[in-house]
Amino acid sequence: MNGLNGHQNGESNGCGDIIAQNQLKGCWTIGLINSKFRYLTAETFGFKINGNGTSLKKKQIWTLEPDANSFGESLIYLRSHLDKYLAVDSFGNVTCESEEKDPGSKFQISVAEDGTGRWALRNVVRGYFLGASADKLTCTAKVPGDAEFWHVHLAARPQMNLRSVGRKRFAHLSESLDEIYVDANIPWGEDTLFTLEFRQDEGGKYAIHTCNNKYLSLTGKLVDTCNKDCLFSAEYHSGQLALRDRQGQYLSPIGSKALLKSRSNTVTKDELFSLEDSLPQASFVAALNSRFVSVKQGVDLTANQEEISDHETFQLEFDWSTKRWYIRTMQDKYWTLETGGGIQAAGDKRSSNALFDLVWQKDGSVAFRANNGRYIITKRSGHLFANSDVIDDTCKYFFYLVNRPILVLKCEQGFVGYKAAGNPKLECNKVTYETIKVERGEKGLVYFKGQNGKYWHSDSESVTEDSDTPEGFYLELREPTRLCIKDSAGHYLTASKNGCFRLGDTSIENATQWEY
């Protein structure tokens, strides 16, 4: 998993191209917002840079790379979406033209003492601070003023797993659903999913939104609505993240329960976190008998359970070279094709026999093609075998994405969010996103509900959150971070360049793949 990188390795489009490339440990993909609330922008032509961007899109994304020899000094380089490094030349001019790191491209981060969490970037060679003045960038201030302070907008996917550097454990909801404990060995299930919400209107602070639709406060308690005690500044410490509250104290796991709350005024390993990609975890219902596929009975995969538990939850891990999937159990075993065609959760490591194609069907179900070229069927006993040359009802499984009870959707144009405050119409070119509640229906259908308590209504013109009656949708996993969404009639949700968000046709070639 990759801290703050937003993707596993591989291909994607739009902003995802940049995020997908950043595999170096400690790299962050970020936007930098100046005092006029405009983004640092690298134009596509002429290597021009300015501070005029109005939202975080491809040209506003920068890769923050740690200096390998900084030894805790927070020395970094900033690389544009064109793979050029931001630098200051010997005359004090700010440039972004070189593909190589040179002494003039090294900056040191310091955090404002005024509690805003803003960063100042001092050029190491020149000794001056990077600022934005009208249309151009400057590096002439010996002491940072308002023009030299920047809010940091993390560009990683907002839904993630939170890992403590000191404890080497993951955060999860408590059983009472009112606190967060940092003691999970692996991030399994929906209760380890958190949304890091960027609140530009709150001075560029962050809020931690849980899967049960609550917010973490500095006391460690979860509350229903986001208030000032739920807002934290993001600080960079040698490639890791620290979150500082309005009183200047940092979040850390406290005590034997590792309760996440604010306590310390200083940053040690206990106050440091990495944001890890939340890999898709799913459950599958066999169309033949309407039972969940399970490993509750041992190594045999059997469709015989009526409820979802950890035994019926599987992690899907994409292999970019073959475009196929590994399917992993909580016991760290992989689904594996055995001699004779049986499917068992017996693989200790990845192998070709542990790779499966997901073949999505028009009726919203999915079929699994094993390494022998045959499709998995459900036998009358419930056992899974890969021995069919064609897809019939015995080969079909309904898919539920169980670790996304709340969904955030993003495309090249931006996030899915409200057209305007008080307007239930959704658009897909927004800077801020709507967090969408996902309710599970029958036979793979899910229903989308807004924070206003209304369900989605979709047609060929638009999608609105104003219905009292749920409309069913199917999710189709296409890549580790991308999925397609279609309605019960098979029409895919599509994005247009003008931000229009609506139902398109039934062709997968014309469907939008949504980052989720």
The SS3 call for residue 130 is strand
Q: What is the pLDDT of residues 436-448, one digit of tens each?
A: 999 999 999 999 9
Per-residue pLDDT, averaged over 31-40, amounts to 92
Per-residue pLDDT, averaged over 321-340, amounts to 95
pLDDT of amino acid 10: 35
End-to-end Cα spacing for the chain: 17
Per-residue pLDDT, averaged over 119-141, amounts to 91
**Per-residue pLDDT for 4 more than 60?**
no
pLDDT top residue among 28 and 305: 305
Rama region for 47: left / alpha / beta (φ>0; ψ in -120 to 50; rest): left
pLDDT of amino acid 70: 63
Residue with tokens 């996902």: 438
Nearest in space to 383 (alpha carbons), one of 302, 306, 311: 302
pLDDT of amino acid 54: 87
Contact predicate 485/497, CB 8 Å: no
Per-residue pLDDT, averaged over 373-386, amounts to 97
pLDDT top residue among 396 and 420: 396
DSSP string, 398-464: EEEETT-SEE--EETTEEEEEEETTEEEEEEEESS---EEEEE-STT-EEEE-TTSPEEEE-SS-EE
**Per-residue pLDDT for 13 more than 70?**
no
**Per-residue pLDDT for 19 more than 50?**
no
For residue 34, the one-letter residue type is N
pLDDT band at 329 (very low <50, low <70, confident <90, very high): very high
pLDDT top residue among 68 and 199: 199
pLDDT of amino acid 322: 96
For residue 247, the one-letter residue type is Q
Least confident of 65-74, 288-297, 384-393, 506-515: 65-74
Residue with tokens 């106050």: 271
**Per-residue pLDDT for 21 more than 70?**
no
**Per-residue pLDDT for 11 more than 90?**
no
Per-residue pLDDT, averaged over 201-229, amounts to 94
Per-residue pLDDT, averaged over 402-428, amounts to 89
Per-residue pLDDT, averaged over 180-193, amounts to 93
pLDDT band at 12 (very low <50, low <70, confident <90, very high): very low
Contact predicate 112/146, CB 8 Å: no
Say which DSSP state 13 is in: -
Least confident of 161-175, 215-229, 496-510: 496-510
To the question of pTM greater than 0.95 for the whole model, the response is no
pLDDT of amino acid 133: 75
Other C-beta atoms lying within 10 Å of the C-beta of residue 382: 19
